[in-house]
Amino acid sequence: MKCLLCDKGLQTELTFTSLLCLKKEAELVCESCLSSFESIGDNHCPRCFKKDVSINCQDCQFWCKQGVKVDHVALYSYNQVMKEYFSRYKFDGDYLLRKVFSKILQTELKKYKGYQIVIVPLSEQRYKSRGFNQVEGLIKETGLTYLDILVKNEVEASSSKNRADRLLTEFPFFLKDGVKLPENILLFDDIYTTGTTLNRLKSMLLGAGCQNIKTFSLAR
Ligand SMILES: [Zn+2]
Ligand SMILES: [Zn+2]
């Protein structure tokens, strides 16, 4: 078998235990790639987990001004190998890669007692072209229950506005019809960049009557 990220051959030791336990996830990705994923560590923005910032970062100050109290946790920094991972997973459509982080995600997400996991959806068009929602794939592998109660419209490319303008003016997400909202929600996404998706969704869900919302992403 080859490493799904770098194509190096994987040495699979067939020990008695590994035979009993069937396949370990680690066998999808080589040791060297695995060790290149960088945990965010202890020095991060207390609100959004931005690395190497010990006070509220600029992104969080922006959200504060928008009336959103950021309450986010991320596990890994969005470094080169993480970019490579998502490029393979999302754009090359390597659905097997959803399994790489299932153990750690399961452990970390289980800590949110009393919170319902809600996944960030793709637009229908994107879903059709990719064949899967990579966010859902990550959660599904953990075996935890989650809700798929949001819908995303395709954001039309309009030539008169730049990307930032569009993000600010048009919000493509809404709730599915007839959904009963849980009181406590853990919004889950794959990557947190400036927090636009998660924090605007949070705002929307609080407006719709949710009591507590925390956000979580694999990478930041
Ligand atoms: Zn590798
Ligand atoms: Zn921050």
Q: What is the pLDDT of residues 94-107, one digit of tens each?
A: 898 999 999 999 99
pLDDT digits (tens, 9 = 90+) for 7-65: 888 876 555 555 555 545 447 888 898 899 999 999 999 999 999 998 999 999 999 99
Distance between CA atoms of residues 15 and 126, nearest Å: 42
Q: Are 219 and 190 in contact (CB under 8 A)?
A: yes
Higher pLDDT, 117 or 6: 117
Residue 116 has pLDDT above 60, yes or no: yes
Q: What is the pLDDT of residue 40?
A: 96
**Closest listed ligand to the CA of 33:** 1
Q: What is the pLDDT of residue 25?
A: 47
**Closest listed ligand to the CA of 35:** 1
Q: Give residues whose Cβ lies within 5 Å of ion ligand 2.
A: 45, 47-48, 50, 57, 60
Residue 3 has pLDDT above 60, yes or no: yes
How much distance in Å is there from the Cα of 215 to the middle of ligand 1? 30
Phi, psi of 191 (to 5 degrees): -130, 140
Q: Are 55 and 64 in contact (CB under 8 A)?
A: no
How much distance in Å is there from the Cα of 79 to the middle of ligand 2? 17
Write down all domains in the chain, each with its CATH number in brackets.
Answer: 1-36 (no CATH), 42-219 (3.40.50)
Q: What is the pLDDT of residue 29?
A: 85
Residue 2 has pLDDT above 90, yes or no: no
pLDDT digits (tens, 9 = 90+) for 153-212: 987 665 566 666 655 567 899 999 999 999 999 999 999 999 999 999 999 999 999 999
Chain mean pLDDT for the chain = 89
Q: What is the pLDDT of residue 157?
A: 60
Residue 1 has pLDDT above 70, yes or no: yes
Higher pLDDT, 14 or 73: 73
Q: Are 167 and 157 in contact (CB under 8 A)?
A: no
Distance of CA 137 to the CA centre of its chain: 10
Q: What is the pLDDT of residue 134?
A: 97
From the CB of residue 22, how many other CB atoms can be counted at a distance below 10 Å?
6
The β-bridge relationship of strands 72-76 and 212-219 is parallel
Residue 215 has pLDDT above 70, yes or no: yes
Mean pLDDT score, 74-80:
96
**Closest listed ligand to the CA of 81:** 1
Q: What is the pLDDT of residue 160?
A: 60
